[in-house]
Structure 1
Amino acid sequence: MAHETLINKLGQQFGERLPSSLQTARSELEGTLKGLLRDALSRMDLLTRDEFDVQQTLLARTRNKVDTLETQLRALEAQLTAIEKK
């Protein structure tokens, strides 16, 4: 619902900045703008900050695991090379 809060805030700010001659159409224009914003945001693949932080943590853990596995692989390759040279 963070998107809805943003949409409402932008719609309100838009309405407040309308020239006085358009104030009578304020609610209609705000509604139209909110609809356009909702459509645009729904087409985007957006994450919340919490979802982003979770993914960032998972990526860091995965990177750590890959680094560990690469180190183990290098050690095993070195052992295999040493055995083959004997």
Structure 2
Amino acid sequence: MINPAKIEEIAKQISSNMPQGVKNLADTFESKTKQAIQNKLAEMDFVSREEFDIQSKVLIKTREKLTELEAKVAELEAKLAAQENNQPE
């Protein structure tokens, strides 16, 4: 597997040996690229990790409540069916 620290070290060596004009161009390119990506991501309808986690917890609680309610409905339906058939519970 490739060692990320080694790749970082190589990248730093290459960067330190570049002429200053190329470094400036690379820095400008990097900042413009980051800005463009951030602008495009802002246009998309993403949610934060925190919002996602909160909604996941809400969904889990909702599923638990639904399971409880399904069990209660089944119990009530069974009681109703027993009453309709005049069967003791």
Same fold (TM over 0.5): yes
Within 5 Å, which residues of 2 pair with 1:45-64? 45-64=45-64
Instruction: Indicate the structure with greater helix content.
Output: 1
Within 5 Å, which residues of 2 pair with 1:12-31? 20=18, 22-31=22-31
5+ residue gaps, structure 1: 1-15
RMSD over equivalenced CA pairs, Å: 2.3
Identity among equivalent pairs (%) = 31
Counterpart AA for 1:25: L
Query: Aligned with 2:36: secondary structure?
Result: helix
- Alignment length (residue pairs): 71
Which structure has more relative contact order (CA 8 Å, sep 6+)? It is 1
- 4+ long deviations beyond 6 Å: 16-19
Question: Aligned-pair distance for 1:57?
Answer: 1.1
5+ residue gaps, structure 2: 1-11
User: TM-score w.r.t. structure 2 length?
Assistant: 0.64
Q: Which moved more, 1:50-59 or 1:24-33?
A: 24-33
User: TM-score w.r.t. structure 1 length?
Assistant: 0.66
